[in-house]
Structure 1
Amino acid sequence: MVRILLILLVVACAGVMGNWSSDKNSRDRLNFVIDSQNSINVGNLRDYDDKHSMRKASRVPFVGKIPPAEDGAGVARYIVRNSVWGSLASLSTMTDITGFPFTDVCSLSDGPPNNSTGVPYFYMTPLDLTAKNFEKDPRGSLSMTLAEGNYCVENNFDPEDPRCAHVVLTGKVVKVKTGTDEEIFAQKALFTRHPSMRTWPKDHNWFFAKLEIQKISLLDYFGGVKIVNVDEYFHAGS
């Protein structure tokens, strides 16, 4: 018991004294490992970080060069055009959390390659909680980030770093009308970027949906969130 208490005390003290700054030297922080004899060995975390940090993660490369931070509409369109998934927020209809914010990862596409529209399309099933939420209340927000690609990794930006830009599109998620040219376009947009969707279970009653954008919030540099004009956003891709 005494040995265990001493181990916990040393670990606690190390946590208080550790420097967790973003400085490169902070990667030399100490890692306490209890070996088979219950003794404490001090190891360097550098090898662990090199193998497991976000810098080593495999990501889908974004196409084209990111516009300058001064071009907020261009940056927003760049992120949306290159994103294949995002965090989609709705208002929950589940018991005990009715009305609470509810987020889910959702595959998306704003168009086939070389035909970006700026409108995020989704492939949904009525069995999904998010789809059920939108059936009752279509209001929602979609978040996408440069962290999905290689840009932030290559520049050593944490996903929360403002320079690792992210955009939030807010509006209403509605079904695309069946039998329309838009439904054909939505299918092409999603199936070309998510080929496995073609093989998803037919008995799930899949349908195409889209986000009708009402507001665009962008954080792409220090100084706070920018509100991007919706018309400028759509014209940025023309």
Structure 2
Amino acid sequence: MNTRGLLDQLLKSGQDLLQNKAPAQSGQQGGVSSQLGSLLSGAGGGALAAGALGLLLGSKKGRKVGGQVLTYGGLAALGVLAYKAYGNWQRQQASAPRGEPQTVDRLPPAQVEQHSHGILRAIVAAAKADGHIDDRERQLIDGEIAKLTSDIELQGWLDRELAKPLDPAEVARAAQSEEMAAEMYLASLLMVDEENFMERAYLNELSRQLSLDAGLKAELESQAKTALQQLPA
């Protein structure tokens, strides 16, 4: 499955959503719109990615579509934020592992795909953390994802992820390294509304299941907070 390509498209669509404009396609700037319907009807992969991301983020929550997403260039940018957090933690903790953090922006392709799979699993789970993805919304998400990728295996996997009960322990089992766990938690932080009790409780349990060191968890939350503070009002 080409999880990396799909995840990168979803993450890169965030900046255009935040600026309330359709993504540029073939050198042409799309019309200004903040409505999910307009995003869904847009032409081209970028607009479709924006629509799918908006659905995953949950427009029904009353949040600005794409209000808490990465705006720094997709998957590599998530790795950069995780790398900063991990590096800060290493310097502060004598017991922390030494050596260069192997975050998703610094890995060979096969390992990037593995990390992407875990991150996408975390994003889908975070989107379900408030308990409100209904059957109609699932159908819309499935339809948008199908326009982004023809990979039947990946489409089926996403459909199963959306359908299964939310289980932080199951999500955490995808983490094959401490850096991967950090990326999954960071992506989840950027997806949820921490003022929502259910979503905050999910994050707390996810961090516990990921066995994140308290200092690393604090650094990841600091990086997420800094990223979100830089978003347009």
Q: Does TM, scored on the shorter chain, surpass 0.5?
A: no
Greater strand proportion: 1
Normalised TM-score (structure 2): 0.23
Say which structure, 1 or 2, has more relative contact order (CA 8 Å, 6+ apart).
2
> 1 or 2, which has the higher helix percentage?
2
